[in-house]
Structure 1
Amino acid sequence: MPGRSAELPDSAPKSDTFSGQVWADPVLPATDGVVINTVFFAPGARTFWHHHEHGQILHVLAGSGLIRSEGGPVEALRPGDVVWVPPGERHWHGAGPGSYLVHLAISLGTTVWAEEVADTPGAGSRHE
């Protein structure tokens, strides 16, 4: 029988791969390398640099935020946006400084986490 959302744990704060206050709420149990979470970012909170083995789909549900792929510009995220991040593309995403962000994150394959993003969004990583 397929996994059901009723079988999942409650939302939990995240801190080892995120800067600021972030909560992830699993939508379904991880299945066949697919992880689906609704993620809430407090203002200014964001992921560390990371990439996904088979890519990631982000669907912005509320608030506003930012996303950046390594070597590219910081781009705005708004409600209704759907973003495809290709396999292996190093990136980060999170809330802007003046708003929370809620997005549905569909991560495909293994997620590889790296270092924290520099303090100024868009400034790159500490190692860039």
Structure 2
Amino acid sequence: MSDTNFTDVFARGDENTAYAQYFVGQSYLNILTTEGLVVANVTFEPKCRNNWHIHQASTGGGQILLCTAGRGWYQEWEKPARELNPGDVVNIPAGVKHWHGAARDSWFSHLAIEVPGEGKSNEWLEPVSDEDYESLS
């Protein structure tokens, strides 16, 4: 699907090869800063989504998503998926199993902000099933 109508505030960045094994489809990563906070622009091609995952931390931690372009989805384990649009903010506490990614028919970008904490790590889990993903409108 062409991205000719997709405009993001931040540069797309390179193909996200470092984390490709944790995504279904193609994503792009542009690290904007590591000074004080880690902030990255993550762009998803249509149908791209990351696997279920958990941001672990002994104290603090988690992630904040600031949606900047396109249309996407966010879902916590055993909860309904939430549609994401530019201007939406998602606060993800440490320890919450979730996924996020693009809608079937749209590119999607968000800024991913790592919340400061101690003992932080990402636990990557299973992919979101095609059946569950395709059931989203």
Q: Which TM-score bucket, shorter chain as reference?
A: 0.7 to 0.9
- CA deviation vs aligned residue, 1:45-88 (integer Å, no higher than 9, x gap): 00101011221100000000011000100110000001101111
Q: Which runs of 5+ in 2 are unaligned?
A: 1-12
More strand by share: 1
Question: Could you say which residue in structure 2 is the equivalent of 1:66?
Answer: 73
Q: Which runs of 5+ in 1 are unaligned?
A: 1-9, 124-128
Paired with 1:43 and 1:74, the residues of 2 have a C-alpha distance of 17
Letter of the aligned partner of 2:30 in structure 1? D
Question: Could you say which residue in structure 2 is the equivalent of 1:4?
Answer: none
Cα RMSD, aligned residues only:
1.8
Paired with 1:73 and 1:25, the residues of 2 have a C-alpha distance of 29
The count of residues paired between Structure 1 and Structure 2 equals 112
Question: Could you say which residue in structure 1 is the equivalent of 2:5?
Answer: none
Q: CA 1:30 to 1:17, structure 2 compared with 1: closer, same or farther past 3 Å?
A: farther
Q: Does residue 82 of the first structure (1) align with residue 124 of the second (2)?
A: no
Which runs of 4 or more aligned residues in structure 1 lie more than 3 Å from their structure 2 counterparts after TM superposition?
A: none
Deviation at 1:29, TM superposition (A): 2.9
Q: Does residue 57 of the first structure (1) align with residue 57 of the second (2)?
A: no
Q: Does residue 42 of the first structure (1) align with residue 49 of the second (2)?
A: no
- CA deviation vs aligned residue, 1:69-119 (integer Å, no higher than 9, x gap): 001001100000011011110000000001010100012332211111101
Paired with 1:99 and 1:107, the residues of 2 have a C-alpha distance of 25
Identity in percent: 37
